[in-house]
Structure 1
Amino acid sequence: MATRTRRTDALTRERIVGAAVELLDTAGEGGLTFKALTERLATGAGAIYWHVANKDELLDAATDGAVAAALATEPGGQSPREEIRAVAFGLFDAIDEHPWLGTQLALQFSRNPWGTVTPRIFESIGRRVRALGVPEAAWFTATSALVHYILGAAGQNAANARGAGAGVDRAEFLDNASKAWEKLGPDDYPFLHAIAGQLREHDDREQFLAGLDFVLTGITASV
């Protein structure tokens, strides 16, 4: 019992979650094991299990920590529309920085909406939707539309980056994709043939913001 007390005094849940995030960032979900954690933290598995019951709990805590950090700097003194954009960029950057986060957020929303992650995000966006003057009957729908766009677009952007592969030049990747679209028959694929050049030239963050503004414009038009 004395040894157990020394370990728990030296090791905190915060340190464990921080180490888990580092492993997830570098090795992905498959690389997050209790064995890898014990090596990184130079401790025994028992000390980790004292604070975290299993891998699912660890993933939940890592996801919650990443989201909390993304929302930690509350934008103030701006219009509700500008604040929504700031929150959206915070989440976009978090998902871009942590490639595993998009998948975990999708799992949180579908399997654990009563946990801490979904309420954090909905509250942050929802209070600003309310400040836009959206009728109360439309609060949930408007907030859901924004949340799903933000997480979906940010998650897809991160997935595209992973799909390109480590060390692959983004401009080269987009150029190759654009050329492939240009080779599609214009009779069968007139739309893709026409926008192939836009694919090559687009900026991810600017495109994300433009899409967000489309959603916000639709929401505010209903006020």
Structure 2
Amino acid sequence: MRYCEHMTDIPSVWARPKKGREQPALSREQIVSEAIKLLDTEGLDALSMRNLGKRLDAGATSIYRHVANKDELIELAIDEVYGEIEVPSASATEWRAGVAASAQSMRAMINRHPWVGSVLGQVGLSYLGPNVMHMSDRMLALFEKGGFDLVAANRAMRLVLSYVIGAGVGEAAWLTSLARSGLSEAEWAERVFPIAKATAAPYPRLLAAFETADAEDMFTYGLDALLDGLVAKR
């Protein structure tokens, strides 16, 4: 009993017991779905119980029946979007191809939801969400199929996820800036690239690097290098 009481003091939706009765007019699923739409369209700064209530045509009190605060709402939103990540079954794919496919799927999720990278690790216990745990378990199985023991598989998985999140945050920031500018990617390049070339003119190596940069190729190159290193370490 003392343990359960202590658990309720942990600031996480996953550590708080569910209430026995749900509010029939507004479900947790509706709240989380609308919160994600708000985050996707207006960003993290726009997320508040008041703004969310307006979008749901409900008062903040109705939302507080399901979540204790904004951090819990973000935890739930994180877990929901993690459910979009596709991790191949270890029994149906070669391990390295499966890990690469998982990384690409996670990268695509972050690009769809640019706010994710800025909140991971900052609120609650996101790693206890059911979708996050499901993804992690399937990725561990892929690494175990590749000959990693459980400790090494866990380390390898965390390294891959850290790489994808790090790369994804940079891409998401770029996509957010592009959306705010109101320009297409081609229009942005047409305006900015000449400025970048002129600025880098005194640095020939850097100038050449600018002219050959490709985000897709860079991501794949980095992921392959990381997996090569993990295989050698194994």
Query: Where on the TM-score scale, by shorter chain, does this alignment land: which range?
Result: 0.7 to 0.9
Displacement of 1:84: 0.9
Q: What's the CA shift string for 1:7-65, capped at 9, x where partnerless? A: 91121111111111111111111111111122111222221111111111001110111
Instruction: State the shift of 1:196 in Å.
Output: 1.7
Q: Residue in 2 aligned with 1:150?
A: 164
Structure 2: tracts of 5 or more residues without a match: 1-20
User: What amino acid does structure 1 have at the position aligned with 2:224?
Assistant: D
Contact 1:134 1:219 in 2 (8 A): no
Taking the TM superposition and a 5 Å limit, the aligned residue runs for 1:177-196 are 177-184=192-199, 189-196=203-210
Matched, 1:213 2:221: no
Question: Contact 1:13/1:51 (CA < 8 Å) preserved in 2?
Answer: yes
**Alpha carbons of structure 1 residues 51 and 180: separation in structure 2 relative to 1, 3 Å:** same
RMSD: 2.7
Q: Distance in 2 between matches of 1:205 and 1:61?
A: 30
| Cα deviation code 1:89-112 (max 9, x no counterpart) | 21111111111111122535xx64
**Matched residue type, 1:128:** L
Q: How many residues align?
A: 210
Is contact 1:95–1:102 with CA below 8 Å preserved after alignment? yes
8 Å contact from structure 1 (residues 134, 222) kept in 2: no
Q: Which residue of 2 aligns with 1:3?
A: none
1:1-223 alignment, distance < 5 Å? 8-70=23-85, 73-76=86-89, 77-107=92-122, 112=125, 115-116=128-129, 119-136=133-150, 138-166=152-180, 167-174=182-189, 177-184=192-199, 189-199=203-213, 202=214, 204-223=215-234
Per the alignment, do residues 140 and 186 of structure 1 end up closer, same or farther by CA in structure 2, a change over 3 Å counting? farther
- Residue 170 of structure 1 and its aligned partner are, at CA, apart by 1.8
Q: Which amino acid aligns with 1:149?
A: Y
* CA gap 1:84/1:44 in 2 versus in 1, 3 angstroms: same
Find the aligned partners of 1:63 and 1:142 in 2 and give their Cα distance: 22
Partner AA of 1:214 in structure 2: A
What is the TM-score with the length of structure 2 in the denominator? 0.77
- Match of 1:51, SS state, is coil
SS in 1 for 2:65: helix
Give the number of the structure whose residues are more often helix, by fraction: 1
